[in-house]
Amino acid sequence: MLLLTMLPRRHCRGLVLSALTCLAAATAPAPQAWAQAPAPAVPVTLTKVARADVPVMLKALGQVLAMNNIVIRTRVDGTLDKILFTEGDVVKAGTLLAVIDPRPYQAVLDQALAKKATDEANLVNARLNLGRSSQLARNQFETQATVDANTSLVAQLTATIKGDEAAIAAARLNLEFTQITAPFDGRLGLRLTDLGSFIRAADNTNPGIVTMSQIQPISMVFTLPQDNLPAITAAMARGRPKVIAVTPDESRVLDTGELLTIDNAIDATTGTIKMKATFANAKSTLWPGQFVNAKLMVDQRKGALTLPSAAVQRGPQGMFVYSVKPDQTVQVRPVEVAQDSGGVAVIGKGVDDGETVVLSGQSRLSNGAHIVAAPAPAAS
């Protein structure tokens, strides 16, 4: 400090600048230290383009319907005497479900049987009288009028007996109707009438005894655009096309059935056509009123180029995949997707058989990015 104070001002300023310059040169980093480090490789999972036979599926929203769905009602008036089912039972056709008090109808049947017996006895007597009068008339001991009267009486009693037989048949039928049975195999719903209620067959306000639905087999109704009609009719010409019922989120297959029929007209207001499919529903995975997704198989693509749907990305310019190059960098490859079933995408153009592409981890990628293959997640 003493030396600097003794020097002229311009010399002091020069010495200070020289000292600062030396200090900056000593502390400056090496030129290569400012160079940008290479970006780390992005971990991704990979898959390969493969050839496979892929079914051509048409998708639609369908509603499950019971093959038969009824309310079981009484066909005769009377008191509900017995209820022999439990709500939710699965029953066979002919199973006894309920009993209407049969005593009034048994009495009517007994009365009809007794009347027939009386009329049959009268007919026997009338025939005997007719025989005697006819014999006497031949010997001129009886008038023809008496013979004609006896003949008319025999005919009248014969007709009366036929009426008795009809009355007996009706009485027996009404007596049978007091035994309420299941008309088909199905599942019972909730009970609608209490034990001991007096119910009438002709009462429109009568809610019935119980609901019943046939769910094995079961049906499903869905609609498709009319443009698909040629493909559907061509598939039906080859046999019954397969229909797959899946959950709305397509996470689980509920059942596999077949197309039963298509409607006989196109809905002019919507431009769609309705069709009906049937399912065995052996595990009762389909339920009446349920909404499910329907997949109708109308054809099959043989040896198509396929990728998991997750490998295909959508960008401003359309669909693309990240193709993996030998130096472990990726290249954006535009592709044309001919079909996407939600799990498998059929690639019409843009990739080759056996080509490696990125399956997951695309969010951190860009064209030319370095990658490192990570193990695929274990299947759950």
- Model confidence over 270-327: pLDDT tens digits? 999 999 999 999 999 999 999 999 999 999 889 999 999 999 999 888 999 999 999 9
Mean pLDDT of 71-85: 94
Q: In whole angstroms, how far apart are CA 314 and each of 251, 318, 321, 332, 369?
A: 22, 6, 9, 11, 18
Mean pLDDT of 66-75: 94
Task: Output phi, psi for 43, to 5 deg.
Answer: -75, 130
Q: What is the pLDDT of residue 205?
A: 81
Q: Does residue 8 surpass a pLDDT of 80? A: no
d(C-alpha 143, C-alpha 137), whole Å: 6
Choice between 148 and 34, residue whose per-residue pLDDT is larger: 148
Task: Examine the domain organization and report whether 47 and 167 are in the same domain.
Answer: no
Amino acid identity of residue 150, one-letter, is N
d(C-alpha 67, C-alpha 81), whole Å: 30
Q: What is the pLDDT of residue 18?
A: 52
Q: Residues for the chain: how many in total?
A: 380
Q: Does residue 378 surpass a pLDDT of 90? A: no
Query: Where does the chain have alpha helices with state H?
Result: 2-6, 9-27, 103-138, 144-177, 229-237
Nearest to 321 by CA among 370, 365, 378, 374: 365
Give helix 103-138 / helix 144-177 axis angle, nearest 10°.
Answer: 160
Residues 6+ apart with CB under 8 A from 301: 53, 54, 55, 56, 338, 339, 346
Q: Within a domain: residue 67?
A: no
Mean pLDDT of 76-93: 94
Task: Examine the domain organization and report whether 107 and 173 are in the same domain.
Answer: yes
Tokens representing residue 98 in the block: 């309920």
Last residue in a domain, options 132, 155, 177: 177
User: Which three-class secondary structure state does DSSP give residue 367?
Assistant: coil
Q: What is the pLDDT of residue 166?
A: 96
The percent of residues above 70 in pLDDT, for the chain, comes to: 88
Tokens representing residue 16 in the block: 């200070």
Q: What is the pLDDT of residue 199?
A: 92
Last residue in a domain, options 131, 161, 177: 177
Query: Domain with 164 in it: what CATH number?
Result: 1.10.287
The percent of residues above 90 in pLDDT, for the chain, comes to: 69
Nearest to 221 by CA among 62, 337, 89, 363: 62
Task: Examine the domain organization and report whether 93 and 116 are in the same domain.
Answer: no
Q: Within a domain: residue 195?
A: yes
Q: Where are the beta strands (DSSP E) in the chain?
A: 42-48, 50-72, 78-83, 90-91, 96-100, 179-181, 186-191, 198-199, 210-225, 242-246, 253-262, 272-279, 291-308, 313-315, 318-324, 330-334, 336-340, 344-349, 356-360, 371-373
Q: What is the pLDDT of residue 37?
A: 58
CB 99 within 8 A of CB 180: yes
d(C-alpha 186, C-alpha 328), whole Å: 61
Q: What is the pLDDT of residue 377?
A: 59
Q: How confident is the model at residue 103 (pLDDT cuts 50, 70, 90)?
A: very high
Tokens representing residue 79 in the block: 């008191």
Q: Within a domain: residue 338?
A: yes
Task: Examine the domain organization and report whether 81 and 115 are in the same domain.
Answer: no
Task: Examine the domain organization and report whether 337 and 363 are in the same domain.
Answer: yes
Residues 6+ apart with CB under 8 A from 348: 305, 335, 336, 337, 338
Mean pLDDT of 197-224: 91
Q: What is the pLDDT of residue 4?
A: 42
Number of domains in the chain: 3
- DSSP letters spanning 149-186: HHHHHHHHHHHHHHHHHHHHHHHHHHHHHTEEE-SSSE
Task: Examine the domain organization and report whether 89 and 188 are in the same domain.
Answer: yes
Last residue in a domain, options 130, 154, 177: 177
Query: Domain with 336 in it: what CATH number?
Result: 2.40.420.20
For the chain, the average pLDDT equals 87
Please tell me whether the overall predicted TM-score, pTM, comes out greater than 0.95 for this model.
Answer: no
Q: What is the pLDDT of residue 15?
A: 46
Residues 6+ apart with CB under 8 A from 360: 44, 45, 310
Q: Does residue 92 surpass a pLDDT of 70? A: yes
Q: What is the pLDDT of residue 38?
A: 65
Q: Is it true that the peptide bond before 248 is cis, omega within 30 degrees of 0?
A: no
- Model confidence over 11-53: pLDDT tens digits? 445 544 454 444 444 444 545 544 555 678 899 999 999 999 8
Q: Does residue 7 surpass a pLDDT of 80? A: no
How far apart, in Å, do the first and last CA atoms of the chain sit? Answer: 79
Tokens representing residue 353 in the block: 């058989």
Q: What is the pLDDT of residue 6?
A: 45
- Model confidence over 336-354: pLDDT tens digits? 998 887 688 999 989 999 9
Q: How confident is the model at residue 146 (pLDDT cuts 50, 70, 90)?
A: confident
Lowest mean pLDDT among 122-126, 181-185, 215-219, 290-294: 122-126
Task: Examine the domain organization and report whether 120 and 170 are in the same domain.
Answer: yes
Domain range for 80? 74-101+179-208
d(C-alpha 141, C-alpha 98), whole Å: 65
Task: Examine the domain organization and report whether 140 and 79 are in the same domain.
Answer: no
Q: Within a domain: residue 204?
A: yes
